[in-house]
Amino acid sequence: MLSYQATKILSYYQDLDLSKWGYGKKNLSVKAKKLKDDEKNVATPLKRKQDVPTCHLEKKRLPLMNYTSHERRYNWTSRRPEFSENYPCDIRSLGNEEKRELLANIEQAVAFVTTMIFQDGSSQLNSEQALTSSVKGIVILVKNQTDRLCSPSYSSSDRIRNAADERDKLIYLKTECSSLWEQEEQAHKKFAWRVLFQMMRRKVPVICFNAKDFLRTVLQIYGNEISWKQVADSVVLDPRIAAWLINPSDTVPSFECLTEKYFEKSFSMETENTDTGTLRNASVSSLRLLLLADTDAYSYLALQVQGLWKLFCTLELPLIKILAGMKPAQNKTLHLFHTALRLKELEQEAHQIAGERFLLTSSSQLREVIFILLLLTKLSLSKLQDLHPLPKIMLEYRQGFISSTWNQTGTVTGRISSKHPNIQGISKHPVRIVKKQYIKGKEEEIVTISPRALFVSKKGYTFLAADFSHIELRILADLSSEPELLKLFQEPETTDIFTTLASQWKGIPSEEVKQADREQAKRVVYSVVYGAGKERLAECLGITPLQASHFIESFMQKYKKVNEFTKKTIEQCRTKGYVVSIMGRKRPLANINAQDYKLRTQAERQAVNFVVQGSAADLCKMAMVEIFTSVVTSPTLTARLIAQIHDELLFEVEDSQIQEFSETLVKFESHDYFKLTSIRNILHYNLSI
């Protein structure tokens, strides 16, 4: 009934062929054999950071980027030669002829390796991610076709002298605008835009560590010139995502850590020049970018060996661009606040009162702000100074938009996480706020407010929420092949699924199922699946543990295959050391064979949960990719993703396109799970597919 074929995903990555870029097939298979042995390491008890296949010296000889003797560069014990000519060339210093040459170069490049440079001189490759520092520029290594490495005349000494091929170009694009109004600056920006535009238009790899941040920045800076649809055209590769797939529990591997893991020795950057004012302090040399390219290449080797390649190409890589192009949501209250702030006197007051510093990123503090705004509408503005002190940081939120950060590698199960604020954690239900007023003689005021309703779409646009219905239960039904459970989903969804389930389970007509029965059924299902004990279930349901265990037993009796499924999953995990989702996502569970009962049973629950939760994440990502590609390839559609709440996708759709967009959704392969539930703001409808 349900098919999990992922092969039909329309994606630019579909035809991703390593050999085209010098990942020789011959080499691959040889290396693959060696890696196979390492694969076993996954299941062995981990020293925490070492659950990535360890690499040995010979693996340094990577087939990528055509340097036969480049391993010499990884001889860390020897002194690194100076590569002064390999520091970036600022494109502003180029003459017209050189610019033309560069563009021609880009047209023929086989790959690009790139990183952002921050204000403080650090790059994306530095371990301390400079979150405070803003972006200063972009360094790009333009790799050109060089087949001559096959030629024996190209000696290693040549290679050492020119770490990068001489036809490779290392360029620097300044992005910070000091004096935007100057004509010269404008011309530079335009040329930088052209370089980036052409780079992304080419269907060759753009290798970047933390590619999402890179793309987002590009969109931010050149938002007027480069649309998110054009960014979607690029073929970005991110070794960090690869590393996360191989070892999902290591959620923040730095570039240094990765090179250490893959190439054994750490690559010290002590020789980096710290001068200021010159481009040398860009802390990026072609050497470093080549190392990034090699890290990238090595990751893919490991991905292929572990069977993660397809998952990587069909889901994770396209997702980078989707997350990069996600639109910040406009918040009604912040917008109002902005409007209010525009009033001159109020702005002054705001500055005066501002003393207490707090972030808007927390929901409770957000509520405070909301409350202030509610008061604003009721009270005269002159009384504002008597109210809560206003945060300075508020000024940053003037536009009234909330843009949270979406993290692709933040979970072990393959789900996406969000922070600042955590949009996925915003309360669904109305919140009660009791606020003391600092105005003499006024009583306390209670306000209820629905935090989600505060997000509003642009004028002329509508929020469209599309979500999976009971996705985890469906996956469970499918994976366990439990006939009774499958029957639930074969019938058209006329009544509530848990009501039907309760009637089926208890053998009573669905009309007689009470709310309490339904609740029980729901709880029991999830408890049994995820291995909750009778005590926990009893606590949830407000019954005695004895009654709870009766429930569990009768459920197991009725749906035998579910129990078989969990047992099978655990068994498989014991022998292999890891569990696999429907799309082949892996989670190593070292404790599955532990002596300690507590640790072992926890690993068992995690194993079962991963298969279900991870598979659900896979399907949701598939939907995201499919919807995204169909919007991108459509000449008319402009729908943009606002948020992803695990099994729900929130889009902002042009009013005139609602029909067309809805029809697009219907086509998806995952449609067995997918349905539109609601469209806020204007429309409300329920569409069962």
As measured in angstroms, the least distance from the Cβ of 45 to DNA is 17
Of 332, 646, 675, 680, the one binding DNA (CB under 7 A) is 646
Chain positions 537 to 576 lying near DNA, rule: CB under 7 A, are: 539
Q: Pattern 586-605, binding to DNA, x per CB under 7 A?
A: ----------------x--x
Does 155 help bind DNA (rule: CB under 7 A)? no
73 CB neighbour count, 10 Å cutoff: 22
Nearest residue (CB) to DNA, 194 versus 419: 419
Tell which one of 306, 527, 581, 657 touches DNA (CB under 7 A): 527
Answer for the pair 115, 141: CB distance below 8 angstroms, yes or no. no
Bridge partners for 174 per DSSP:
137
363 contributes a contact to DNA by CB under 7 A? yes
Question: Residue 672 and residue 661: Cα distance in Å, rounded?
Answer: 18
Among 338, 526, 600, 675, binds DNA (CB under 7 A): 526
> Please, what is the minimum distance in Å from the beta carbon of residue 424 to DNA?
6
* 680 makes contact with DNA (CB under 7 A): no
**Contact range with DNA by CB under 7 A, out of 83-91, 176-184, 523-531, 550-558:** 523-531
Q: Is 420 in the site for DNA (CB under 7 A)?
A: yes
Number of H helices, E strands in the chain: 23, 19
Contact 476, 485 (CB under 8 A): yes
Q: Answer for the pair 115, 289: CB distance below 8 angstroms, yes or no.
A: yes
* CB 6 to DNA: min, Å: 22
The nearest distance, CB 338 to DNA, in angstroms, is 21
427 near DNA (CB under 7 A): yes
- Rounded to an integer, what distance in angstroms lies between the CA atom of residue 361 and that of residue 403? 10
Alpha-carbon span 525 to 519, nearest angstrom? 10
Q: Provide DSSP, 336-400.
A: HHHHHHHSHHHHHHHHHH--S---TTSHHHHHHHHHHHHHHHHS-GGGGGGSPPPPGGGGGGTT-
- What is the signed CA dihedral for 163, 167, 170, 173, rounded to 10 degrees? 180
Residue 579 burial (CB < 10 Å; 0-12/13-18/19+)? buried
- Is residue 372 at the binding interface for DNA, with CB under 7 A as the rule? no
Binding-residue total with DNA (CB under 7 A):
44
Query: How far is residue 432's CA from residue 437's CA, in Å, rounded to a whole number?
Result: 16
What whole-number distance in Å separates Cα of residue 203 and Cα of residue 185? 29
Name which position in 223, 328, 425, 483 contacts DNA (CB under 7 A): 425
One residue of 234, 285, 413, 462 binding DNA per CB under 7 A: 413
Task: Assess 38 for contact with DNA (CB under 7 A).
Answer: no
DSSP element (H, E) containing 200:
helix 183-201
Q: Determine which residue in the list 144, 407, 510, 638 makes contact with DNA, applying CB under 7 A.
A: 407
Shortest reach from residue 351's CB to DNA, in Å: 23
List 226, 533, 655, 680, residue binding DNA (CB under 7 A): 533
Candidates 104, 359, 381, 682: give the one binding DNA (CB under 7 A).
Answer: 359
State which of residues 241, 258, 412, 583 lies at the interface with DNA (CB under 7 A): 412
Give the residue carrying structure tokens 């880009």. 106
Residue 302 gets which letter from DSSP? H
Site membership for DNA, residue 422 (CB under 7 A): yes
Q: Give the type of residue at 191.
A: F
Regarding 645 and contact with DNA (CB under 7 A), the answer is: yes
- Sheet order of strands, 169-174 included: 89-90, 169-174, 135-143, 111-118, 205-208, 235-237
> Considering only CA atoms, which of 333, 259, 260, 340 is closest in space to residue 293?
259
Q: Which stretch binds DNA (CB under 7 A): 192-200, 255-263, 493-501, 645-653?
A: 645-653
Cβ proximity to DNA: between 66 and 418 the closer is 418
Q: Which of 51, 250, 647, 654 binds DNA (CB under 7 A)?
A: 647
Q: Is residue 450 a contact point for DNA (CB under 7 A)?
A: no
Give the one residue of 27, 129, 156, 411 binding DNA; rule: CB under 7 A.
411
Residue 6 or residue 589: which is nearer to DNA going by CB? 589
Query: What's the per-residue H, E or C state across 387-402?
Result: CCCCCHHHHHHCCCEE
- Window contacting DNA (CB under 7 A); options: 9-17, 324-332, 478-486, 530-538: 530-538
Is residue 361 near DNA by the rule CB under 7 A?
yes
- x-marked contacts with DNA along 232-261 as a string, rule CB under 7 A: -------------------x----------
SS3 558: helix
Contacting residues toward DNA, per CB under 7 A? 251, 359, 361-365, 407, 410-413, 415, 417-422, 424-429, 526-527, 530-533, 535-536, 539, 602, 605-606, 609-610, 613, 645-648
